[in-house]
Structure 1
């Protein structure tokens, strides 16, 4: 039986399934970074992250503002930055995050590294609240 990883990465329905190998690579990479930083040392306290790649944050931000993403969350509990938005549920040690990629395509930057940078930015903000080492 395969155990789920604490950090998962998916893409919303606007992306091709050809993205799957990159998503798996990114997921393995960030979970390995968390392992190296000893985030999994205490089995009773493991942060989990659910990252979703989206083309643009515009639609997601409108959805968050209008509904709080779902009926259990308020829009104020979401943090929206350039290129990503996230909501940390402290009671579940769970973070839901959207990572935008359209601006990366426009800028012509290394997309994989830029996605990694955005994911680690979100992860490090949450981890710092619990005194965990930052991911590099």
Structure 2
């Protein structure tokens, strides 16, 4: 039996292979995100639950699907190579994050405690987006 968690994390095959983000690592990041949001009481009110899908994509996918996207439903940041669809709390939120060598290196330089661990770098990116969600939907911030 598969349990559907409110916050899910996936990566396209190219990103998984390039950065060695296998299913087990993605599941650990997903578990961490759900645990942190649970600690911050995001799921206290059953009528006000958030669902969010984080997808790690390649630069090629971002360029092909999002760079020229003209839609009021999506917020596309071409500098950070992210595409976000945040709707009403009852809808599933979607965050597409482009993972590149440059981004991974920039994250490492910004926080020396992270080291060279891609998993921790991805976790830090998702943490930043969870803080954005907390602010948008007036949830308590995660640690």
Bin of the TM-score, shorter chain as denominator length: 0.7 to 0.9
Instruction: Please say if residues 9 and 55 of structure 2, whose CA atoms lie closer than 8 Å, have aligned partners that are also in contact.
Output: yes
Alignment-derived partner of residue 59 in structure 1? 61
RMSD over aligned Cα atoms:
2.6
The offset of 1:67, in angstroms, is 4.5
Q: TM-score, normalised by structure 2?
A: 0.74
Deviation sequence 1:81-133 (CA, Å, 0-9, x none): 62533211226342111122212444583322221121122222122122111
Change (3 A) 1:106 1:18: closer
Q: What is the SS of the residue equivalent to 2:137? A: coil
Question: What number of residue pairs does the alignment pair up?
Answer: 130
Change (3 A) 1:90 1:20: same
Pair 1:34-2:8 in alignment: no
Deviation sequence 1:3-23 (CA, Å, 0-9, x none): 300000111132338611110
Change (3 A) 1:75 1:63: farther
Pair 1:43-2:56 in alignment: no
Please list every run of 5 or more consecutive structure 1 residues that lacks an aligned counterpart in the other structure. 69-73
Change (3 A) 1:108 1:127: closer
Q: How does 1:1-136 map to 2 (within 5 A)?
A: 1-14=1-14, 15-16=16-17, 19-56=22-59, 59-67=61-69, 74=71, 77-80=74-77, 82=80, 84-90=82-88, 92-102=90-100, 103-107=102-106, 109=108, 110=116, 111-136=118-143
Structure 1 CA distance for aligned equivalents of residues 97 and 125 of structure 2:
7
Alignment-derived partner of residue 71 in structure 1? none
Please list every run of 5 or more consecutive structure 2 residues that lacks an aligned counterpart in the other structure. 109-115
Q: TM-score, normalised by structure 1?
A: 0.78
